[in-house]
Amino acid sequence: MNSPIAWKTKTCAFVCLVLGSLFAAGCGSGPRRAGPVDVELARESLRAALESWKKGEPPEALRDHYPSITIQDMDWKSGYALVSYEIRDGEKEDASNLHCPVRLVVRDPQGKEVKKPVTYVVGTDPVITVFREMSL
């Protein structure tokens, strides 16, 4: 027959094992990292974003696009119109983003046209993002 001390020891060991497993499972996993970039989806998403801007749509319109696209471009948000764009050669892929050089021709709110070489950083996981690389 089991003694009360043996029962308490087994129960304590079981509780420690369960708590230790839960603690180990919760620690070390850290934040989820983005998966590898889907290059074709990244290219299509960049084109869709630039075409939306060229049509005069607000950046927020891309949230309703399928699949949804999150865009960040300060010129677009500031009211510049996209006159034309050219996606240039020389794209670079890192672990989770595609860096795409683009030549923009934009019209500022006063009507002046400006040519700008820029780079967009496009991610596809866990959501599609199109961010303009900030130049220093």
Binning pLDDT at 50, 70 and 90, where does residue 2 land?
A: low
Q: Summarize pLDDT for 75-124 with one digit per residue, the tens.
A: 999 999 999 999 999 999 998 999 999 999 999 999 999 999 999 999 99
pLDDT at 51: 98
pTM: 0.75
What's the CATH code, domain 39-132? Answer: 3.10.450.540
90 CB contacts (<8 Å, ≥6 apart)?
101
pLDDT at 4: 54
| Torsion-angle region of 30 (φ positive above 0: left; ψ -120 to 50: alpha; else: beta) | left
- The closest alpha carbon to 75, from 92, 61, 58, belongs to 58
Q: Summarize pLDDT for 38-76 with one digit per residue, the tens.
A: 999 999 999 999 999 999 999 999 998 889 999 999 999
Residue 20 vs residue 127, higher pLDDT: 127
Residue 1 pLDDT greater than 60, yes or no:
no
Residue 25 pLDDT greater than 90, yes or no:
no
pLDDT at 26: 47
Every domain of the chain and the residues it spans:
1-30, 39-132
Contact 51, 66 (CB under 8 A): no
